[in-house]
A = this chain, B = another copy of it.
């Protein structure tokens, strides 16, 4: 498989941006494999994802690219990130008692769907331990009470830091993260909300949906921000339900939705397909 690099950037929109980037890559011998642009008219903002072959590219590593591209980028006001090859980003999974998302992610990782290293699993319960051991992932059991919450979160952050974590996936982790945690990993925490946001915000959305007699239930994956359940939406999906569904089968159907929308979000993040600006995402699919 040929070696590739990906550049993801956004900036205030203006004339000549595509030419500028394309010329830069061409100058250094890059052959574009895939390019996608988006211009948000309301925000007057330009988003781009560009993937090119490293075969004849003369900037030999990310560091060299950064040094060469930075002056241009600074002048042009780009927010940008570049990734060479298929570097396996270290990822942390956080989970509480429901394991379906965790089990799903671990298997997807094993068969190569997720380009990352799952560096650790953190949980406030023991339920995930057997799965962690089966897949040989370090497991950290950090139980939590209101009294210990702050201290435990410091431990969690130390774990993230010492493992150089670049993405935190909340795979049905039922504790609210503190603003400090969120700020430290801004744009790097993905959560799944077991609901079609913003329909049923809050703790027991399936119960609310059941009482309301809805005909569709949904799930949403999103980046975590300081405002609970209101971060930028990455993916949503729904399933049809009817009066025949009891609360229990609603929850069963919800599990399948949660697995799908969370795994999509994680995969797209790892493939550098998501740009985030303000409270919206651009997903280059």
Chain A interface (Cβ within 8 Å of chain B)?
Answer: 14-19, 22-23, 25-26, 29-41, 47, 99-100, 103, 107, 111, 113, 130, 134, 196-200, 211-216, 218, 232-238, 240, 242-244, 246, 252, 256, 260, 279-283, 285
- Knowing A37-B32, A280-B213, the reply to whether A19 touches B23 (Cβ < 8 A) is yes
Residue of B nearest to A38 (CB): B243
Report whether B35 and A18 are in contact in the complex, using a CB–CB cutoff of 8 Å: yes
Report whether A15 and B19 are in contact in the complex, using a CB–CB cutoff of 8 Å: no
Residues of B within 8 A of A214 (CB): 197, 233, 236
Residue of B nearest to A279 (CB): B213
Report whether B26 and A242 are in contact in the complex, using a CB–CB cutoff of 8 Å: no
- Knowing A23-B19, A238-B238, A280-B243, the reply to whether A196 touches B216 (Cβ < 8 A) is yes
Residues of B within 8 A of A107 (CB): 99-100, 103
Q: How many copies does the complex hold?
A: 4
Selected from B238, B242, B244, the residue in CB contact (under 8 A) with A216 is: B238
Report whether B260 and A233 are in contact in the complex, using a CB–CB cutoff of 8 Å: no
User: Closest Cβ of chain B: how far from A26's Cβ, in Å?
Assistant: 5
| 18 CB < 8 A contacts A-B | A16-B22, A18-B18, A19-B25, A23-B23, A32-B37, A33-B39, A34-B38, A34-B39, A40-B243, A130-B134, A212-B233, A215-B233, A215-B235, A243-B280, A243-B281, A243-B282, A243-B283, A244-B285
Residue of B nearest to A247 (CB): B42
Residues of B within 8 A of A25 (CB): 19
Report whether A41 and B246 are in contact in the complex, using a CB–CB cutoff of 8 Å: yes
User: Closest Cβ of chain B: how far from A56's Cβ, in Å?
Assistant: 8
Report whether A212 and B279 are in contact in the complex, using a CB–CB cutoff of 8 Å: yes
With the chains together, A134 CA to B134 CA distance in Å?
A: 7
Residue of B nearest to A252 (CB): B113
With the chains together, A211 CA to B37 CA distance in Å?
A: 20
Residues of B within 8 A of A23 (CB): 19, 22-23
Most chain B C-beta atoms within 10 Å of own C-beta, residue among A19, A214, A279, A280: A19
Residue of B nearest to A260 (CB): B256
User: Closest Cβ of chain B: how far from A119's Cβ, in Å?
Assistant: 22
Known: A213-B233, A213-B281, A216-B236. 7 other contacts (CB 8 A): A15-B26, A18-B22, A18-B35, A19-B26, A32-B39, A213-B232, A213-B279
